[in-house]
Chain A
């Protein structure tokens, strides 16, 4: 088992107004106004993922899909239960969130790569591939602030998808840039997901889920509604 989640629960304590300054906090405390509302984003979620499996996760907005992914990648610590992950996890970041716009494309490739957890040797080896895929050519030594937004997206996508991880987390299939690059990036994603790595795949497109996944987990209000074969779960989800 490469991922094993046991009764994972995640509870957010929400104040009605988020208190962010000491003065406010004291005033509220004196008034006795600090009330918390508990919100269980995940409740007793258990499942296992085998190596090489593609697990789809479906559910409505706010069902806890993103929270579950964050717990698995170690960003959030669950309130209850535990997750055992045996391998390196590479998240598909929101593209470009690790970029520094004062640095050149070249410098950003190494910076963003390091944040994603790639090693120096790996990045040096794949550098040419990344540049070639992004089609930036001579612009690679220009600071990012001079890029068009499409160019930034292309670079971000190229860095994010050179990975060779044990576990890949995909929150929607990304297709960026002009029509040509969109086709190319979609092909790259599908290639990655079909390449034998373990994939956790969140999508609202049931067609993609049906096409890619071995099994599907249906989350509803933080709880597992159904877990099983792609066809069964997808049919159930469409009806419900």
Chain B
């Protein structure tokens, strides 16, 4: 390779890295620096008495993290417009940690309301006592709060098993349950604090590697990356032709042609939307988008893996007659599925528009999710393609595994219905992490927490490494078995 073009490539690459690092930090925002935590809210079973002057409500609340950012409470106004204020005070023993007053005229009946605490330092505390009073309220002009003793899990109620000191007390008398409240806390993450150090270290490493590469190239030595680049530029045209072939023949002789790439996921979504939003009620917010994201991602994975499965066996006539690196065949199959997937993203964006999901900068993270999905599909495809050569049973086995995989992935159901004891096993599914990432990016409009990135990268790279190793080890024997 020419030294000059390599130099140019390295410079562009490093500049791109810097730009991406900055964009990434901008999109990541608070998610990189803080981990936000919310406790679960009890389901409201009944209300306390009217909170008037002289009534004191006390409740121990659990704390985690370093900072209390707010509370969510579930209140009732007796259907009237009240005046006055609720005073919320937080104590650690006798020490006042923070207090807030809530104007009760802003409260709606039977609705949750948020109280922002704006950063109360709670480091080292595992619990605190919340005290609620209404010094100016008179009977007939006061509000109350809900309490309960169970959590709702999909359609069931799970008893909260509250201990004696976790019950809500009104003027010292314990009631059968705790206040319906959610505690918002946050914890600083080392990732955000050291982000620029990490990015800088990455830059130094990359720059060092570029220098090494340039020196090696000048000396005329081969290096792994350069070999890959040379092979890529050599077989670029072949890959382009094979992808174009797959794409052209897929819809050839069908009337709607390429429109099917849009229609297919949309129709599947419509059917499942009707089934799951009427027959089986589901309380997922923005279910249409939730469903479509799952369908589009899983379809891509499943199509890419199934097409790669037959890529070696199906091209037997070519493999036995002309030398082409064998990984080209599964790779191009995954690439043509990617083209389909990118087309299927268009209806996805349309559904985002229709459901008024805001377009946030986090959308720029979507390519990262897609890349990981691609990597996972390629790894699986390489593995299946080589297994298929030696055992034709693979295709039938894959049909079953594929179906099992679909049900093991939260496509049309919320992950909350999985029993807690199975969760560790459930999270071994690499697709789970990638789909979760894509959903957070699209639906919540924020960047996922740093841990989600790490899990997603592991979930996509480990299968690729395994697939590549198996493929590499067996590829010389393909010719003898097809």
Which A residues form the contact surface with B (CB < 8 A)?
Answer: 12, 20-23, 25, 70, 73-77, 89, 91, 93-94, 97-98, 100, 102-103, 107, 110-111, 114-117, 119-120, 143
Contact = CB atoms under 8 A, between A and B. Distances in A.
A119 B323 contact: no
The B interface is mostly helix, strand or loop, or mixed, namely helix
A118 to B, nearest CB: 8
A76 B479 contact: yes
Contact of A102 (B249, B318, B320, B391): B249
24 contacts: A21-B393, A70-B320, A75-B321, A77-B476, A91-B322, A91-B323, A93-B321, A94-B321, A97-B318, A97-B321, A98-B318, A98-B322, A103-B245, A103-B249, A107-B245, A114-B238, A114-B242, A115-B322, A115-B324, A116-B322, A117-B324, A119-B237, A120-B237, A143-B252
Interface of B: 237-238, 240-242, 244-245, 248-249, 252-253, 317-324, 391-393, 476, 479-480
B317 A25 contact: no
B239 to A, nearest CB: 9
A2 B283 CA distance: 71
B112 to A, nearest CB: 56
Contacts of B242: 111, 114
Given A12-B480, A102-B249, A103-B249, A21 B392 contact: yes
Contacts of B391: 20-22, 25
A172 B249 CA distance: 33
Contact of B237 (A91, A94, A114, A143): A114
Nearest to B392: A20
Contacts of A114: 237-238, 240-242
Contacts of A21: 391-393
Contacts of B249: 100, 102-103
A25 B253 CA distance: 41
Given A76-B479, A115-B318, A102 B324 contact: no
Most chain B CB atoms below 10 A, which of A12, A23, A75, A116: A75
Contacts of A20: 391-392
B322 A107 contact: no
A42 B345 CA distance: 53
B325 to A, nearest CB: 10
Contacts of B476: 77
Given A21-B393, A94-B317, A103-B252, 18 more contacts: A75-B320, A75-B321, A76-B479, A89-B323, A91-B321, A91-B322, A93-B321, A93-B322, A97-B318, A102-B248, A103-B249, A107-B244, A107-B245, A110-B241, A111-B244, A114-B238, A115-B241, A117-B324
Nearest to A23: B393
Nearest to A104: B248
